Structure 1
């Protein structure tokens, strides 16, 4: 990244107000009556309604248009495990995108733990405040279990962007690229460099569209993930190939498509 762009990026985040998001009020708050409706004693009435019928929280509060962007900072962009606090600019950035392009209010939450169960327990306990949860920048394989448990325990939508957001865009590009080349996804040989959350989610998405698992060759830092290879977790094992291919050179030979989903190293 050029030095002048680095300086611009830092200045963008620092000035004129640090950060990229803020809170705005949606009701008048100018008179004594306004304030008595917004807080005591008027606020008691929606509280009673929600206590009697929790679904009315969507009528009387901002819950329905509020998404929490939540991370523990264990897989920040291509930078790796920077920790929860260092992930905050990314999470604020995602909140900015929600507001700018969809009109959805969003708040970033950084959870300072690398323990998957602690993360799940923390998020599950605050989930009722939001209309949806966007998980972000959580390393594999923990991200799969975290998302699965939160979907099971929360009654609002839970979405891990690194998996499904990447998969949706990749699948769209793949389908169009194959069509341009006059090829069918059912017959396409696909090499996937990377075996983290994005890679596995992308390949799952392609399989759902008709790609054959036996036509997908996935590589991690140790090379091709093949049947019988030791030290392969259950998520990578979904794409363990019955093949004698071992290197990236082997895997791209004869491939119709290459999907790059690995870190810099």
Structure 2
């Protein structure tokens, strides 16, 4: 009998997980009694006519009488599936279902996943905008750049519910929170730090925009993409790159990194060499977020620099940059004040709440979940853990408060009653 390799074993386990005991990862649940003829008469005809009349008279009544207020659509065209590329909408369905699992597990938000076959961005936009009456929010997922920018901007303009492309903004929020704390530990400030970012795609562009909103100085920023450093001498840059073109003589990543305080990589494996890392400023911060293989392995990076703080996108190293720390709680806060959109200040509020939470004492329940005796704010703990119960307490409230301040909340914030642990 031939023994399976580790890769074959992981593949078999993943396929078995998705296939049994029933295909897929999400299903519909009934929330009202359906045991008697009276129950069914209330659920459907004739009882259902009453909420229909109420909603026709007052559209806001839909939040009271239907599931809309706790329902998010997770929508993709499959053009940028994880690290696998453009494999089409059908192949994206397991990822969209997985997103639904995370929404439900961490924020008790119900999800319908929708995989859209669209011949161009406008067709996708037209399809999604017609869905507004069904949902309280739209989470866009796995849509390639620059298509994703056009789609999100257009939908945000025409829809009166939050539209959020998590690959952009979820990633940006976690990077910004981690970077805030890493710089703090290194005795540095965002508004003074020299930062180099590699990979100005969807996530990279959103990260840069958010960091600039938070105080990063444009003159302290260099961006590197396939053409090298984005500089003012390049006259054929796409729109989403043009605003980051710098007045600089640097043309390569190696030249850009000399004296830099922070490196953010959203690019490809092994791009950050030992020599480049050695050339950075004292007490550097390195976020090597290419997955599954980072721009530099932590083992090698720590051999080169003993004054380093480092993060990756992987769960088997400290300081994982994981979007699940943001998107469920952003939407929970937005839904709980019936926000019309997600603003820059709502994202910043989420960043600040995340960063502050990591600086607090870690609850015993978190230590138990990760089988650890101790965990404290420091070089290997700059972000909260996903199973921290305080995330659902702190982040939605902070997001909703910002929504109210920005005038995009329909109602005052009312915290969602989360189910008891283990009941989902």
TM-score (norm 1): 0.96
**d(CA) in 2 for partners of 1:37, 1:263:** 56
Q: Does 1:50 align with 2:55?
A: yes
Q: Does 1:93 align with 2:103?
A: no
Q: Within 5 Å, give how 1:71-150 maps onto structure 2.
A: 71-150=76-155
Q: Tell me the secondary structure at the aligned position of residue 187 of structure 1.
A: coil
| 1:263 CA drift (Å) | 4.8
Match of 2:17 in 1: 12
Match of 2:219 in 1: 214
| 1:114 CA drift (Å) | 4.7
Contact 1:70 1:110 in 2 (8 A): yes
- Measured on the aligned residues, the alpha-carbon RMSD in Å equals 1.4
| 1:231 CA drift (Å) | 2.9
Structure 2 counterpart of 1:190, from 195, 206, 219 = 195
Deviations 1:121-178 (A, max 9, x none): 1000012100111111111111111111111111111111011100110001111111
Deviations 1:164-220 (A, max 9, x none): 100110001111111111112112111111011100110111111111112111111
Match of 1:166 in 2: 171
Match of 1:25 in 2: 30
Match of 1:234 in 2: 239
| 1:228 CA drift (Å) | 2.7
Runs of 4+ in structure 1 over 6 Å off? none
Q: Unmatched 5+ residue regions in structure 2?
A: 1-5, 270-289, 291-424
**d(CA) in 1 for partners of 2:76, 2:84:** 14
| 1:9 CA drift (Å) | 1.2
Deviations 1:66-112 (A, max 9, x none): 00001111111111111111111111011110101111111110111
Contact 1:245 1:251 in 2 (8 A): yes
Contact 1:136 1:161 in 2 (8 A): yes
**How many residues get paired?**
265
**d(CA) in 1 for partners of 2:36, 2:148:** 48
**d(CA) in 1 for partners of 2:268, 2:203:** 11
Q: Tell me the secondary structure at the aligned position of residue 125 of structure 2.
A: helix
Q: Tell me the secondary structure at the aligned position of residue 131 of structure 2.
A: helix
Match of 2:304 in 1: none
Deviations 1:20-73 (A, max 9, x none): 000000011111111111111111111111111111001110000000001111
